[in-house]
Amino acid sequence: MLQSVLDWLADPATWQGENGIPNRLLEHGLLTVTATLAAAALGLPLAVWLGHKGRGGTLAINISNVGRAVPTFAVLLLLALGPVGTEYFGAYGRAGLSTLVALVLFALPPIITNTYVGMQGVDRDTVEAARGMGMTSTQLLRSVEVPLALPLILTGLRLAIVQVWATATIAALVAGPGLGRIVTLGFVRQDTGQVVGGALVIAVIALLLEVGMVALQRVLDPVARARRTTAAAAALGSVGSRP
């Protein structure tokens, strides 16, 4: 088994052409980035606003539950047969577009739910104090609520991007673009080396994506960064305002 995987990886054909790893990886990456950015552009402002106003809590939580219950595969098929494309179902373009719509739909729940919960979780006393200092609603949003909610907002984005990566593989079942095609083609050819090798590539990149996002989150999180800076400052002897 291991030998067949190595053989597949060593085969020059694996790395060339439409079904080669580089091309499918590019498709997969483009889909993931585009879908996540689109979902963030749609979901973030909505969830930040809802969280700021303190409205639509049930909606935000339910979106997440519904997203979990709906099978990706079925949504992809419904989209591909329905509004997004009917004639050239197997063709790259149509399937690609319905894949993109499905991925955006699946990236929305983690983004919306986490952002909303993060905004709601901001300490009420802090918000009241900021208001008492004369901050306007916009200032409050920009310099208090969003920075404090950022850890959860970033968690939502991380979940979204990893989920989109995973979901993009299923696009292969409707002849869509992405790395999943390598696995499904391996099934058709009954080539264990290709099936396992392709799956290995997808899984390893998924894990790297998760680890990379966790690291990025740590760098971007202002609360953790402030804590680190304070700690560093304290270590240097210049005592900060906080103990």
Footprint of another protein (CB under 8 A): 1, 65, 68-75, 77-78, 81-82, 86, 89, 162, 165-170, 172-175, 180, 183-184, 186-187, 192, 195-196, 198-200, 202-203, 206-207, 209-210
Q: Which is nearer to another protein, 80 or 119 (CB)?
A: 80
At residue 240, the 3 state secondary structure works out as coil
Q: Which is nearer to another protein, 52 or 197 (CB)?
A: 197
**Pure H helices in the chain:** 2-10, 21-53, 57-69, 72-81, 92-120, 124-132, 137-140, 146-170, 180-189, 192-220, 222-236
Q: How far is the CB of 170 from another protein (least distance, A)?
A: 6
User: Contact, 111 vs 39, CB < 8 A?
Assistant: yes
Q: How far is the CB of 202 from another protein (least distance, A)?
A: 4
Q: How far is the CB of 188 from another protein (least distance, A)?
A: 11
Q: Which is nearer to another protein, 47 or 162 (CB)?
A: 162
Q: Which is nearer to another protein, 25 or 175 (CB)?
A: 175
Cα three-residue angle 91-107-171, rounded to 5 degrees: 25
Q: How far is the CB of 15 from another protein (least distance, A)?
A: 19
Q: How far is the CB of 166 from another protein (least distance, A)?
A: 4
Q: Which is nearer to another protein, 74 or 129 (CB)?
A: 74
Left, alpha or beta for 186 (phi > 0: left; psi -120 to 50: alpha)?
Answer: alpha
Q: How far is the CB of 140 from another protein (least distance, A)?
A: 33
Q: Which is nearer to another protein, 103 or 148 (CB)?
A: 103
160 CB-contact burial (10 Å; exposed 0-12 / middle 13-18 / buried 19+): buried
- Residues 6+ positions from 108 with CB-CB distance below 8 Å: 39, 42, 43, 63, 67, 160
**C-alpha span between 12 and 57 (Å, rounded):** 53
